[in-house]
Structure 1
Amino acid sequence: MTNVAEFIEARLQIETLISQIAQSAEQRPREESTQRLDEATQSLETLKTMADSENEVQARVIVRLTSELNALGKRVAKVKAAKKVLRKKQPTA
């Protein structure tokens, strides 16, 4: 069992990652968003083990964060990977 302060700290860390993922999904290549999504998912698994099964607030937090990460995962999957700019070769005469 962990205390409430540790649970809140872990929750805040995940929420920060969620906001970073949302921003990076719009502005940056998919690899960065995917990396943050993986980190947030691992943190969520840790948070699940910290949660007290009889605490309704903690259970709701877990459900909400899981839902947000699932939605962001779908959004990140839709983002195209960064494209490389290819220049046309000049014909040699």
Structure 2
Amino acid sequence: MSMEVKVLSTITQTNLEALKHHMKKLGFKYYKEMNGWVTFGARLMMNGKGVAPDDCISISVRFMDIHADLWDFDLISKLPEAKQAILNFYEAEGIANED
């Protein structure tokens, strides 16, 4: 049985690199892409399954969906700028909010 690996397009990878750079300037050091979700975290913590990001923002690379789990007040104050960077990513990807 073969396992299918989905590879992000070159354009999406370029857009993610720009987003990663911006998020790093905001204090999010951890980055991971898995199952169509990209997660940025301020630090790492151990959970029952291994290492996981703490104080994190996750976005979907397939549709417009953002999840934020922030406890650090400094990071919370940067949320509007992080949100704008994520919206810029979605705009570059041609993903629109259908609300």
Same fold (TM over 0.5): no
Which one has a larger percent helix, Structure 1 or Structure 2?
1
TM-score, with normalisation over the residues of structure 1?
0.31
Which one has a larger percent strand, Structure 1 or Structure 2?
2
RCO greater where, 1 or 2, for CA within 8 Å and sep 6 or more?
Answer: 1
TM-score, with normalisation over the residues of structure 2?
0.30
- Which entry has the higher C-alpha Rg, 1 or 2? 1
